[in-house]
Chains A and B, each alone.
Chain A
Amino acid sequence: MSVREFAERGADLELVGIQKRFPGFTAIEELDLTIPAGSFFALLGPSGCGKTTTLRLVAGLEEPTNGRILIGGRDVTGTKAHERPVNTVFQSYALFPHMSVLENVAFGLKRRRIGDALGRAHEALRLVELDHLAQRRPAQLSGGQQQRVALARAIVNRPALLLLDEPLGALDLKLRRQMQLELKTIQEEVGLTFLHVTHDQEEAMTMADTVAVMNKGAIEQMGAPAELYELPRTSFVANFLGQSNLFTGDVSGATDAAITVDIGGARVVVPTARAQRHQGRVTVGVRPEKVTLLREAPAEASEHNTLGPGRVIDASFSGVSTQYIVSVPGVGTVTVFAQNTGAGPVVGEGAEVWISWPVEHGFGLDDVPETEGRFAADDDTTSIAAQRREALVAELEEG
């Protein structure tokens, strides 16, 4: 596909064995990824995980150390940014300050010598409802308006693949919600392939068809948002995407249907199909909103896991729900989100409670979370070196 013509529809993107090393560290270890044409794909991860580097590799602003990049089946690894049928909405927008809004939007069309560049630019500005500001300079617009101009400047070119680099990061919550919906609508209308990079899990889940969670230069897990949330495979995904209660113990029994894990004397049953590992030391978990708080010890039931008695050490009311933190001896602390529907007990700090959740909501992870506590001291030289490196990676990611 030539950059001289408009993409009729989105193209699929394929990354094969991508590795990116910078002097001193590796930003991307080994990345294989296929994004089908016409989909809205989100790369989700903390800063410094390599997601922005991935985006820059696809845009052609960086060269991979190893591996190949294919857009619509064509190998573009060796081509320069201006030769790729790809446009980017930059995190900083990068609107040309010396051009009017209209000139900014028409820039790509003029470079490709596409007829009626100004007419098409006006049309794109109408799509983002900014045509009345076409003659202004970018500096005279608000952040949200600049963001929409950046979007118009990219989509006016009808790229086979549109890259979005945390484009909503600088917006306030309300505008952000509005832009999320607009982006989604535009994507459905024009049928392009969107690759969206973000660290905001809510944004990724509401907008994307497929989410890939990235950590330390590799994709941890990929799938539909609901699938990722309901069945995380690693402790990183379980904690980065929402919250999780994780318990680590040895498998004491396994059948075709379920595995039983011994957690400090208590038995927790997880369906075999929802567990990644079926023997040895494993970590199992459950989402806090799936857990019910009980004031009395429940009757033994095979379809529920029950822990307790424990003590409520913190209860914080947040309107729609109340978050309880329950300390269960031998197990640790468990977080419970109780919807304020009027059903279920309302307890205060210090109350004795049992917790329970249906077996089918549990999940078993592929790894065991690092044994160190969340607030363990990290001031030894190794940790400081690691932190420095992380900071450097983050800086490079942003720069």
Chain B
Amino acid sequence: MAFAAFQTAEVVPQAPRKRSRIALFLLLPGLLYLVLFFVTPLISLLLTSLQAPAEFGDIGQYEYAFNWQNYVTVMSDYWPHIVRSFGYALAATVFALLFSYPLAYFIGVKARRWPMLQALMLVLVIAPFFISFLLRTLAWKQLLSDESFIITSLKALSLMAPDAHFTGTPFAVIFGLTYNFIPFMTLPLYTTLERLDLRYLEAGSDLYANPFTVFRKVTIPLSMPGIVAGTLLTFIPAAGDYVNASRDFLGGPDTQMMGNVIEANFLVLLNYPAAAALSIILMAAILVIVGIYVKRSGTEDLL
């Protein structure tokens, strides 16, 4: 749904008027699906978030009400998690962009002359998808645990303090998020960079721009559609992620994100209204952030 904001920028309705009925008819299955599986759960979630504990009820029993104080409560209880979620997601997005841009540039621009190399590198970018990301994240946990070869070696070389940990730290969570979302960042960047017309870069250098300025003034603006798509595909799921930050994976008690507290409220504490209110807050915050971002990035005429 966050993509709705993203989509409006490029939709240019050109359909002739006469066919609008057929178009509506063709849209019907999709609309029906959305009503059933998107609008209905959303309303249900909204109603749940306003529920109040049932009088004389058990734990986990709630009744419909207009208990908006739920929002105030979760905000005051969980504001560090909310801040942390967006902070981690932002950091992971920035790191993924810094890592993916040169990679995508190499595959999409430098490797153009060797289509085989291009294809091979793309396969390598996508290859991790063949293994469940839960397994991959678990594998990282193994590799980076206190007893692992990497960490013991780093400690032996005094590059890490003897009592330091890697797993359970914010750094480990951001690392995991970055790693898991790199393909989502790389692929959209690749598709824009692959179409980048190198003659614009030549024109830039012909007009006295040094390579760095050409990159800043020509390459980056022309690859904005890829940057916007890649950062959205990374930021949105990363903000709601509850795997990397979980204690069972790379996280610890101090790295819990919104996804983790929603999960805990829903499955452990059975505080459904709190979980629902947190979900709504997460969704609304993402929508607002993405909306501002797309508006500010000014990519409408490039999309």
Chain A residues in the interface with B (C-beta under 8 A): 3, 59-61, 80-83, 86-88, 90, 92, 94-98, 107-108, 111-112, 137, 153, 157
Given A94-B200, A96-B200, A97-B222, answer yes or no on A137-B301 (Cβ-Cβ < 8 Å).
yes
| B206 with A86: CB separation less than 8 A | yes
In the assembled complex, how far is the CB of residue A115 from the closest CB belonging to chain B, in whole angstroms?
15
Whether a CB of chain A sits under 8 angstroms from the CB of B209 is yes
Q: Which 7 A-B pairs have the closest CB atoms?
A: A108-B207, A94-B203, A111-B208, A81-B205, A98-B221, A94-B199, A82-B205
Asked if B206 contacts A88 (CB within 8 A), the reply is yes
Q: B residues within 8 A CB of A98?
A: 221-222, 224, 301-302
Count chain A CB atoms within 10 A of each CB in B206, B210, B302 and give the residue with the most: B206
Q: A94-B200, A96-B218 are in contact. Are A59 and B208 (CB under 8 A)?
A: no
Contacting residue for A108 out of B197, B200, B208, B221, CB 8 A: B208
A87 to B200 alpha-carbon distance, docked (Å) = 14
- Measured in the bound complex, the distance between the Cα atoms of B216 and A96 in whole Å is 13
In the assembled complex, the Cα of A61 lies from the Cα of B207 at a distance in Å of 12
- Min Cβ gap B75→A in Å is 40
Residues 192-212 of chain B: 1 if any A CB is under 8 Å from the residue's CB, otherwise 0? Answer: 000001011011111111110
Give which listed residue, A92, A137, A153, contacts B207 with CB less than 8 A.
A153
Residues of B that sit less than 8 Å from A by CB: 197, 199-200, 202-211, 213-214, 217-218, 221-222, 224, 301-302
Q: Are B205 and A61 in contact (CB under 8 A)?
A: yes
Q: Is there an interface contact between A92 and B208, defined as CB atoms closer than 8 Å?
A: no
A90 & B199 in contact (Cβ 8 Å cutoff):
yes
Does A111 contact B207, Cβ atoms closer than 8 Å? Answer: yes
In the assembled complex, the CB of B203 is this many whole angstroms from the nearest CB of chain A, namely 4
Q: Find chain A residues with CB under 8 A from B207 CB.
A: 82, 87, 107-108, 111, 153, 157
Which has the most chain B C-beta neighbours within 10 Å: A3, A81, A92? A81
Which of B199, B205, B208, B302 has a CB less than 8 Å from the CB of A112? B208
Is A111 touching B206 in the complex (CB atoms < 8 A)?
Answer: no
Residues of A with C-beta under 8 A to B217: 107
**Interface of chain A: mostly helix, strand, loop or mixed:** loop
> What are 8 A-B residue pairs whose CB atoms fall within 8 Å in the complex?
A81-B202, A82-B206, A88-B203, A88-B206, A90-B199, A96-B200, A98-B221, A107-B217
Given A61-B206, A82-B207, A98-B224, 20 extra CB contacts under 8 A: A60-B205, A80-B210, A82-B205, A82-B208, A82-B214, A87-B207, A88-B206, A90-B199, A94-B202, A94-B203, A95-B203, A96-B200, A96-B218, A97-B200, A97-B302, A107-B204, A107-B217, A111-B207, A153-B207, A157-B208
Cβ contacts under 8 Å, B208 to chain A: 3, 82-83, 108, 111-112, 157
- Chain A neighbourhood of B199, CB < 8 A: 90, 92, 94
Check A82/B222 contact, CB under 8 A, given A94-B202, A96-B203: no
B208 to A: closest C-beta gap in Å: 4
CB-defined contacts of A94 to chain B, threshold 8 Å:
197, 199-200, 202-203
Bound-state Cα–Cα, A82 to B301, Å? 28
Q: Is the CB of B206 within 8 A of A59?
A: yes
A96 to B202, CA, bound (A): 11
Q: Which residue of A lies closest to B209 (CB)?
A: A111
Task: Find chain B residues with CB under 8 A from A86 CB.
Answer: 206
Q: How far is the CA of A92 from the CA of B202 in the complex (A)?
A: 12
A69 to B88, CA, bound (A): 54
CA distance A290 to B210 in the complex (A): 55
How close is B199's CB to chain A, nearest CB, in angstroms? 4
Which B-chain residue is minimally distant from A91 (CB atoms)? B199
Q: Does the CB pair B213–A111 fall under 8 Å?
A: yes
| Contact of A82 with B210 in the complex, beta carbons under 8 Å | yes
Bound form: Cα–Cα A195–B222 in Å: 30
State the Cβ distance, B112 to closest chain A Cβ, in Å: 11
Bound Cα distance from A96 to B204, whole angstroms? 9
Task: Give A96 to B209 CA distance when docked, in angstroms.
Answer: 13
Cβ contact within 8 Å between A61 and B202: yes
Q: Could you tell me the distance between the alpha carbons of A153 and B200 in the complex, rounded to whole angstroms?
A: 13
Instruction: Kindly list chain B residues whose C-beta atoms are within 8 Å of the C-beta of A59.
Output: 206
A394: shortest Cβ distance to chain B, in Å? 17
